Structure 1
Amino acid sequence: MRCAPRTPSPRSMPGAPTRPAPTTEKSFRGGVDPVIRVRHVLERAERFRFFERNAGMELQLNWVAIAIATVVGMGVGVVWFAKPVFGRPWRRLASFGPNADAPAPIVYIAALLGTAVFVLTLAVATSVVSAAFGIPLLAAAFAAAGVLWLGVLVPRHAAIALFQDMPRPLFLIYIGHDATVLVLAAVIIGLLG
């Protein structure tokens, strides 16, 4: 059985009038047409040249600066938690006895690795912020450090403090240590790039 050939509809014929594109923003069920909304977002992005500036962005990490900042961060920990500085109140508030044994070497290795990851995260965030907003590395390092401290570390320590009923001075010792390490690491990464 043969089918009859399809007759073209008047709209598909050459020269036939086409449906006009929507011209008002109120053309989609009383709201803004999604096509118009997407077009508006893309125009806005072009205006700021965000996509063009960041296309093919590569991380610029100075491994020497990261290594130096890691060593400085460990040094801050040694000084910060020494008995003349905050060691005595820290040991008392964290319930360490006066005759507590020295920690095992694995604790220091874990602290070194944690500090290295901490500094590497700051370096990556600094590189991204500097490239995304076109600002100098030192300013980007301080911006990234501020966001990491206020947006990640303080809430994390606050949650731990609340769940463990941690004394407020101990909480302040911990977040002060993190802030000091971040500021010094930001200076090193920002200056050495």
Structure 2
Amino acid sequence: MVPEINWIAVVVATISTMVVGSIWYTPKVFGNYWMRLAKVTPGEGKSAVIPIVVTLIVSFVSAWVLAGATYLSFAFYGGSFLSNALLTALILWGGFTAARFITHDAFEGRPIGLTILNCVHELVTFMVMGLIIGLFAV
């Protein structure tokens, strides 16, 4: 079975990751807290172009995988495409994204607050992608 993927949903979900990240890490939301814990100095003169391009690429891959996994979940379990998308997003986030963040951050000795901040950001990101993919039912 080849998953049917709504490419418009994947592109919109990809763009949503940039919107969520832009809001989440703005100084008035969690940006100042993140910079302090991650030891990032604002205005270091580094270009953000490469990190933004990398983020777009990996966000596209994540949205594509989420869309494919959602289709497989929906085909297997049935029910609502939207609920399958949201549950699949939650499971993929917990099983892969959060688990990997926690493991790497523990070995790198990063502050627990940074790990929690980044994991919750990824949870919100995945749930927004799941919502978008779920609303663009195949």
- TM-score, scaled to structure 2: 0.93
1:87 corresponds in structure 2 to 31
1:155 corresponds in structure 2 to 99
CA distance in 1 between partners of 2:48 and 2:94 (Å): 31
Aligned length: 137
Shift of 1:135: 2.4
Q: Which runs of 5+ in 2 are unaligned?
A: none
Shift of 1:99: 4.0
1:178 corresponds in structure 2 to 122
2:10 corresponds in structure 1 to 66
CA distance in 2 between partners of 1:105 and 1:146 (Å): 29
2:50 corresponds in structure 1 to 106
CA distance in 1 between partners of 2:104 and 2:50 (Å): 23
1:128 corresponds in structure 2 to 72
> Aligned AA for 2:29?
V
Shift of 1:72: 0.9
Shift of 1:104: 3.9
> Aligned AA for 2:23?
V
Q: Which has the higher contact order (CA 8 A, sep 6+)?
A: 2
Structure 1 residue 164 and structure 2 residue 125: aligned?
Answer: no
**Structure 1 vs Structure 2: percent identity of aligned residues?**
31
- TM-score, scaled to structure 1: 0.68
Larger Rg: 1
CA distance in 2 between partners of 1:75 and 1:65 (Å): 15
CA distance in 2 between partners of 1:81 and 1:103 (Å): 17
The alignment partner of 2:72 has SS state of helix
- Could you report, residue by residue, the CA deviation over 1:117-151 in whole angstroms, capped at 9, with x for unpaired residues? 11111101101100111222111101211111111
The alignment partner of 2:39 has SS state of coil
> Aligned AA for 1:184?
V
